[in-house]
Amino acid sequence: MLVVVLILAASLAIYHFRPQPHAQPKVKPITYHYRIVALGDSLTEGVGNEKKHGYVGITADTLKKQKNVKQVAYTDLGHRGDTSADLLDVLKKPAARRQVQKANTIFLTIGGNDLVRVLRNHFMDLTASDFSAEQKKFTPRLQKIFTTIRTLNPRAPVYFFGLYNPFEDYLGQANKDFVPILNRWNANSKKVAGKYRDVHFIPTYDLFKGKINTLLYDDHFHPNPKGYKLLSARLVTTMKRDQ
């Protein structure tokens, strides 16, 4: 009988002093507050879809609908016709620099007007070397753009769009010669972007290939609302992968 009592007493003691499981603290879901600054040319300005502010406005609306997003604010500094040299001038302005410093997300389109300038200036005697010469000028300017952005804001992810081809029908047979030039231009831009931390190159060529009749605005150059939706969708997908 004494043995039974001792066993019961020992069992109670072990139970009493056994560490009891603690309730796991509730993990708060991650929420996002976006402060976006959009830089670049007419694609960022949204020409062809001014009512929705192009891909910038569409993206902002999409982000606002996500459950884990609490706030979305954006400043659109895109300007029709701007080249890489023009964007460098924009980044010298105090107001633009303050916007970049405050941002936690940066969108960028640039390079299309640099490329188009070659077509306009050499249309009658256009050669591949004309594009190569312009790309050699564009590359250091693009590097300076990224360096300036990173100096002003070391942390905000930058989403940089590549170029699509709006000239598929316009160039006719010459398009087969232009496509490799455009591909080299995009490959070079992607390579430059890859040298900077948290700069994401977003390809667009495939989105518009063979579909320009349904995705371009009346000017046959800028995206129409449907085209901008495709740009925005790819941007949002890239942003999700970055989270």
Q: What pLDDT sits at residue 173?
A: 79
Q: What pLDDT sits at residue 149?
A: 98
132 is written with which tokens? 């190569």
Q: Which residues pair with 107 in a beta bridge?
A: 38, 159
Residue 234 has pLDDT above 60, yes or no: yes
Contacts of 182 (CB under 8 A, 6+ apart): 115, 163, 165, 205
What count of Cα atoms within 13 Å lies in the side-chain half-sphere of residue 181?
A: 22
pLDDT in tens, 181-203: 999 999 999 999 999 999 999 99
Give the angle 60-236-90 at the CA atoms, nearest 5°: 60
pLDDT in tens, 150-164: 999 999 999 999 999
Amino acid at 210: G
pLDDT-derived band of residue 205, with 50, 70 and 90 as boundaries?
Answer: very high
Distance CA 66, CA 68 (A): 6
Out of 63-67, 127-131, 224-228, pick the least confident: 127-131
Q: What pLDDT sits at residue 119?
A: 79
Residue 220 has pLDDT above 50, yes or no: yes
pLDDT averaged over the chain? Answer: 89
Q: What pLDDT sits at residue 5?
A: 42
Picking from 64, 78, 71, 67, the residue whose alpha carbon sits closest to that of residue 34 is 71
Q: What pLDDT sits at residue 130?
A: 86
pLDDT in tens, 113-129: 999 998 777 665 667 78
Regarding predicted confidence, which is higher, 209 or 51?
A: 209
Write 58-64 long-range contacts (CB < 8 A, 24+).
58/228, 58/229, 58/232, 59/107, 59/232, 59/235, 59/236, 60/34, 60/36, 62/232, 62/236, 63/32, 63/34, 63/236
Domain boundaries, the chain: 32-242
Residue 175 has pLDDT above 90, yes or no: no
Q: What pLDDT sits at residue 169?
A: 85
Residue 160 phi/psi, 5° resolution? -110, 120
Distance CA 183, CA 163 (A): 9
Q: Is CATH 3.40.50.1110 the classification given to domain 32-242?
A: yes
Q: Where are the beta strands (DSSP E) in 19-68?
A: 32-40
Question: Of the ranges 13-17, 199-203, 218-222, which is most confident?
Answer: 199-203
Q: What pLDDT sits at residue 111?
A: 97
Regarding predicted confidence, which is higher, 73 or 16?
A: 73
Query: What's the pTM?
Result: 0.87
Mean pLDDT of all residues in 37-63: 94
Report the percent of the chain where pLDDT is more than 70.
86
